[in-house]
Amino acid sequence: MLCKATVLCTIFTIVDDAMKASPQIQRALDRPGPQPQLSDSEVVTIALYQELIGEPREDHFFRLHQASLLPFFPHLNERSRYNRRKRDLWAVILAVRLCLQLVLDALEFEETGAVDSAPVPCVGRKRDKAHSDFLGFADYGVCSSKAMKYFGCKLHAVVSLTGVILGYLLTSAAPYDNQPLVELLDSMPHHVRNLLGDRAYNDEPLQAFLKQYRELTLLAPTKVNQPPKRTKQEQKFQNQLRLICETVNAQLQEQLHLSKHYAKSKLGLMTRVAAKVTAHSVGMVVNKLWGRPALRLADLAV
């Protein structure tokens, strides 16, 4: 287990180097007026650290950790000001993830990935939605694996076989899992040629389209009423490879609390999702730098 000082310093170094090395991020941060005492790199570092320690509520995070963070960030603002700055930087948080060498290498060299979706509830299913900021953005949906009906969104993600999140797409909960797949694949600069999905992606027209127009083979288990396309051993091997996506989804849900984001607006939700996905990739980089298993995130931050 790494100590807090080691984790915070490593995250800050990764974030600060990525932000300073990216001309796009520097242009986005170029704004008039004096520079804030708490730098943008420090805001992003604190946001990622909050996700890695598994604290979904920002008020709890500040109450429990503000005193211990002040020696590292002496200009840490009060919570509401910090929250506003973090939301303003949500796109920068995503850009930091795309600057990581770990992610760049995966996007360049990984040719096999796995795809799955995860539920992101936003408002209680029975609550009135008339005055919710999520009205028109989220929708009613069902998560069969969890036997859950909810009002919210879905996080569709493509994960490499090494556990790196290659790309993600946040949609309402209404579309079936395979419907946003083409948009998801077109939204990221990948070199994936084989994509493993569960039975929700068993769609012959979609598989034919991806094969013809994207040069990509979408592999999914056949349904009960369909003749098998692969032997039991081949299908078992594919299922084992696809477990990496289940592992990453479980980390996002159980460790980074994807379903317990406590966001009250669309911008707040996008910020929290961006921070969680980026924190997962940054956590893998920290682990690799310190000689730990890349996906061992449970005891990384204390």
DSSP structure string for 253-280: IIIS-TT-----SHHHHHHHHHHHHHHH
Would you place residue 281 in the very low, low, confident or very high pLDDT band (cuts 50, 70, 90)? Answer: very high
Would you place residue 226 in the very low, low, confident or very high pLDDT band (cuts 50, 70, 90)? Answer: confident
Q: pLDDT exceeding 90 applies to what percent of the chain?
A: 79
User: Residue 196 to residues 145, 193, 238, 239: CA-CA distances in angstroms?
Assistant: 17, 10, 7, 8
Distance between CA 254 and CA 162 in Å, rounded? Answer: 20
Angle between helix axes 90-99 and 101-109 (nearest 10 degrees) is 60
Distance between CA 65 and CA 72 in Å, rounded? Answer: 12
Residue 131: per-residue pLDDT: 83
3-state secondary structure of 81: helix
Would you place residue 210 in the very low, low, confident or very high pLDDT band (cuts 50, 70, 90)? Answer: very high
Contact 171, 153 (CB under 8 A): yes
Residue 126: per-residue pLDDT: 83
Is 61 a residue whose pLDDT tops 90? yes
